[in-house]
Amino acid sequence: MAKGFLRHAPGGPEAINSASFDDDIADTSRTYVIEFWSAGCAACERIAGVLEQALMGSTNVTIYTVNVDEEADLAMRCGVRALPAVLVFRSGVEVYRSHRANADVDVADYVNGDS
């Protein structure tokens, strides 16, 4: 993981990898928001600072992060070809994705049912 890049609060999103991915998103009662990032991506860095805040009022939501430089196989498996990328999974299936610089707003609106 890039040193000093992710500005998540203690107890916030944790990094996942291809080995744990299926188990990490298996709980069908939860929604999983997965933030794919790279250390050289300024928009990714901005999202890292606000994604948790945007989803703070959402219930049954878990946020994970994936460093695409370290987890290229998982990024390819999920079809991530551009950054920033924030994907939403329910019951192990991708239900939404955003590649926009304001993905935090897009995803929060989707998760909270506003879109």
Q: Which tens digits make up the pLDDT trace of 14-43? A: 888 899 999 999 999 999 999 998 888 888
Q: Which tens digits make up the pLDDT trace of 56-72? A: 878 888 889 898 999 99
Q: Which CATH number do you get for residue 84? A: 3.40.30.10
Query: For residue 75, is it within any domain?
Result: yes
Cβ atoms of 2 and 16 within 8 Å: the answer is no
Query: For residue 106, is it within any domain?
Result: no
Q: What is the domain extent for residue 24?
A: 19-100
In the structure, what pLDDT confidence band is assigned to residue 2 with cuts at 50, 70 and 90? very low
Query: For residue 107, is it within any domain?
Result: no
CA atoms within 13 A on the CB side of 89: 20
State the total domains in the chain. 1
Q: What is the Cα–Cα distance from 78 to 92, expressed in whole angstroms?
A: 12
Query: For residue 9, is it within any domain?
Result: no
Q: Which tens digits make up the pLDDT trace of 45-58? A: 888 768 888 888 78
Query: For residue 73, is it within any domain?
Result: yes
Query: For residue 96, is it within any domain?
Result: yes
pLDDT (mean) for 82-100: 91
* Residue 90, phi then psi, degrees to nearest 5: -135, 135
Cβ atoms of 38 and 83 within 8 Å: the answer is yes
Cβ atoms of 22 and 34 within 8 Å: the answer is no
Query: For residue 77, is it within any domain?
Result: yes
Cβ atoms of 44 and 38 within 8 Å: the answer is yes
Predicted TM-score (pTM) of the model is 0.84
Query: For residue 90, is it within any domain?
Result: yes
CA atoms within 13 A on the CB side of 46: 13
